[in-house]
Amino acid sequence: MTIMNSTLYKLCVAPMMGHTDKHFRYLLRIISKKSMLYTEMVASNSILHNKRNKLNKLEHNNENPVGFQLGGDDPQQLADCAEIVESYGYNEINLNIGCPSKRAQSGNFGACLFGQPELVAKCVKQISKVTKLPITVKTRLGIDDFDDIKHLENFINIVSEGGIETFHLHARKAILKKGVNPRKNRSVPPIEYEKVYNIKEKYPTLKIILNGEINAPLDVVNHLKYVDGVMIGRAVCNNPFILNDIEKLIYKENVINKEKVLSEYFHYIINNFNNNMKITDFTKHLSSIFKGYIGSKHTRSYMCHELNYEKDPLKKLEELLFKEDLWKNGQDLYTKVT
Ligand SMILES: Cc1cc2nc3c(=O)[nH]c(=O)nc-3n(C[C@H](O)[C@H](O)[C@H](O)COP(=O)(O)O)c2cc1C
């Protein structure tokens, strides 16, 4: 697939642990031809020591363009990982400077690196010695009391000096101190789009991608007046078809049909599923598209759990996906959101 640089980052799907695995990315690529996809974050030492089979996370289905997100703070380890990632055919290395979890803090990666821009720049320089892939950074607007715009500018100055041209900015700060868990820190403190718009104004030559609580296609169009691209996370998990709605708006093309998407994904499952696997690893990504249809709560639970226990899960899945009344009854959320 040819990657057009001018459009590459206009629409990105955020890295999300437990979600943006190769199956979900395959589904998203059927729906959206032009969005930039990202893997979940994988820590560099997990890759180098193949901890808990983390190398499985490197596999993909040519659903390019896909960026591989790395977490780590050791320049040489990250460079070694970047070489491995490139050999698997990914299109970009993305560094995670946004994860506020305790695990990330104890490993000195993720959001705590926001306070160490010189080390981030060093990592970027070391990675760029071993790969020609673009290197990008996904970060927050600050951490704890280190949240003044000057801190963000300082981070961007030093890290861009290290070679980064593209920043994905989750438009809120990370809270590392006790009492706020990472999940909550995706909704609090309030989102600050203006700060990101101002960064783009101040650094017109950098590519600035806005992330955080972008839930409606028309909002994407609005944000694109101020930044180079948007990155969407939870809204895509809640409704993968939103990508098509957005593409329709920003590229005026690519109207896809829901049944066709399901049929293509079903064939992917047939070709890739075997009895040593859980079929729900494939079908959990479909469950959200049943939202809004009659009986959807039961259907979604079935796709995420019970289907594993069927004798012939493929047959059951086929019956479920292509049962006509499932689509004819009920309200189609997909058309409602546009
Ligand atoms: C379940 C889940 C897992 C996430 N995992 C990652 C991750 O691995 N790497 C990362 O940079 N951000 C991760 N995030 C944060 C998202 O990439 C994104 O920054 C955040 O959800 C805000 O965007 P949204 O409001 O569009 O969801 C995760 C978010 C969710 C909901």
| Whether the CB of 18 sits within 6 Å of ligand 1 | yes
Number of Cβ within 10 Å of residue 210's Cβ equals 27
Residues 17 and 92 in one domain: yes
* Beta sheet of 92-97, edge-to-edge order: 11-13, 229-232, 207-211, 166-170, 135-140, 92-97, 66-71, 37-43
Angle at 74 between CA 174 and CA 64, to 5 degrees: 75
| Whether the CB of 15 sits within 6 Å of ligand 1 | yes
Task: Name the residue range of residue 331's domain.
Answer: 258-336
| Whether the CB of 212 sits within 6 Å of ligand 1 | yes
- Of 229, 251, 273, which one is at a domain's C-terminal end? 251
- Calculate how far, in angstroms, residue 15's C-alpha sits from the geometric centre of ligand 1: 6
pLDDT band at 6 (very low <50, low <70, confident <90, very high): low
Query: What's the rounded Cα separation, in Å, for the pair 175 and 184?
Result: 10
Residues 102 and 22 in one domain: yes
- Of 251, 268, 283, which one is at a domain's C-terminal end? 251
Question: Percent of the chain at pLDDT above 90?
Answer: 79
* C-alpha to C-alpha distances, 126 to 82, 83, 211, 248, 303, nearest whole angstrom: 10, 11, 27, 40, 43
pLDDT given at position 206: 98
* Closest residue to atom 10 of ligand 1, CA basis: 15
| Whether the CB of 95 sits within 6 Å of ligand 1 | no
Residue 118 has pLDDT above 50, yes or no: yes
pLDDT given at position 330: 45
Mean pLDDT, rounded, of the chain: 91
C-beta of residue 41 within 8 angstroms of C-beta of residue 17:
yes
pLDDT given at position 2: 37
* Closest residue to atom 13 of ligand 1, CA basis: 16
Q: What is the mean pLDDT of residues 25-48?
A: 95
Residues 108 and 246 in one domain: yes
* Closest residue to atom 19 of ligand 1, CA basis: 170
Torsion angle of alpha carbons 115, 118, 121, 127, nearest 10°? -100
**pLDDT, tens only, 278-302:** 999 999 999 888 777 777 888 889 9
- Of 187, 217, 251, which one is at a domain's C-terminal end? 251
Residue 117 has pLDDT above 80, yes or no: yes
| Whether the CB of 190 sits within 6 Å of ligand 1 | no
| Whether the CB of 183 sits within 6 Å of ligand 1 | no
Residues 10 and 120 in one domain: yes
pLDDT band at 4 (very low <50, low <70, confident <90, very high): very low
* Closest residue to atom 14 of ligand 1, CA basis: 16
99 included as an active-site residue: yes
Q: What is the mean pLDDT of residues 92-100?
A: 97
Residues 272 and 246 in one domain: no
Residues 87 and 196 in one domain: yes
Residues 30 and 150 in one domain: yes
Residue type at 88?
Y
**pLDDT, tens only, 314-336:** 999 999 888 766 655 544 433 43
pLDDT given at position 3: 39
In the set 99, 112, 123, 237, the catalytic residue is: 99
Least confident range of 83-97, 186-200, 313-327: 313-327
Closest-lying ligand 1 atom to the alpha carbon of residue 71: 9
* pTM reported for the whole predicted model: 0.94
* C-alpha to C-alpha distances, 212 to 11, 60, 224, 232, nearest whole angstrom: 13, 26, 14, 7
Residue 262 has pLDDT above 70, yes or no: yes
- Calculate how far, in angstroms, residue 245's C-alpha sits from the geometric centre of ligand 1: 21
Residues 272 and 323 in one domain: yes
Query: What's the rounded Cα separation, in Å, for the pair 74 and 287?
Result: 38
pLDDT given at position 289: 80
* C-alpha to C-alpha distances, 210 to 196, 227, 334, nearest whole angstrom: 7, 7, 24
Residue type at 30?
I
C-beta of residue 318 within 8 angstroms of C-beta of residue 312:
no
Total domains, the chain: 2
Residues 162 and 80 in one domain: yes
pLDDT given at position 338: 30
| Whether the CB of 69 sits within 6 Å of ligand 1 | yes
Question: Percent of the chain at pLDDT above 70?
Answer: 91
- Calculate how far, in angstroms, residue 315's C-alpha sits from the geometric centre of ligand 1: 34
Pairing of strands 229-232, 11-13: parallel
Residues 198 and 76 in one domain: yes
Residues 94 and 169 in one domain: yes
What CATH number is given to the structural domain containing 235?
3.20.20.70
- Reference 258, options 239, 283, 273; nearest CA is 239
Residues 124 and 169 in one domain: yes
Q: Which residues of 101-129 are buried (b: 16+ CB within 10 A; e: fewer)?
A: beebeebebbbbbbbbbebbbbbbebbbe
Structure token digits, residue 16: 């999300």
Closest-lying ligand 1 atom to the alpha carbon of residue 215: 26
Query: What's the rounded Cα separation, in Å, for the pair 284 and 287?
Result: 5
